[in-house]
Amino acid sequence: MDVGIIGAGHIGATVAKLFMRAGHRVTIGNSRGPMSLQALVEELGEGASAAEVVEVADGADLVLIAIPLRAYRDLPAEPFGGTIVVDAMNYYPARDGHVSELDEDLVTSSELLARHLPDARIVKAFNTMYWETLRDGGRPDLPREQRLAIFVAGDDHDAAGVVAELIEQVGFAAVLTGDLASGGRRQQPGAPGYGKDLTAAQAAEVLTQG
């Protein structure tokens, strides 16, 4: 699979390494441009490349966005049409500035992204786990019920299924939380399962709490 990643911080770089290890090709971009990513590309190895943000979606089967939420409005909508877009962003008002619709819980951040990228197939995932756990916690050798859970939400069931399969490939258990509205709320900062290391069974129990 050809995977694009926008954002080369802890989450973006870690997911890039996981996907490369699973045999996928990765193109990564950030706001500072491809030259700033050469060391990471060399570390990722053959099958990895860097590109401008507007080019990351070219030919990609899936694009993961792991940038501060305040920057999502800078993304052009057209390149993402028809593409599965994984939203790994979180809303932190102290960093992102206050967004009234989010402060008032009228929408989720993933719904805002879906509004901005209306032709993309938005899936929420990779946003609740600390990057160190994401880096070290994958265990493809374990039965699914013993693996750590990564939550997945989406309105497009087929797209969510593709993301869930990737999660399983890199050694975690994909646990569906619902659509971008209800499921997105179960994955946002402050939700019962946010930032916790949970097995698939524990995650299912936590989801009953809200």
> CB within 8 A of 202, min separation 6: which ones?
149
Confidence band for 160, pLDDT divided at 50, 70 and 90: very high
Domains (ranges, CATH) in the chain? 2-207 (3.40.50.720)
Structure token digits, residue 182: 């209800």
Contact 208, 139 (CB under 8 A): no
Torsion on CA atoms 117, 168, 205, 106, rounded to nearest 10: 0
Average pLDDT of the residues of the chain: 96
The whole-number pLDDT of residue 210 equals 61
Structure token digits, residue 159: 């797209």
- Tokens 């290890």 correspond to what residue? 21
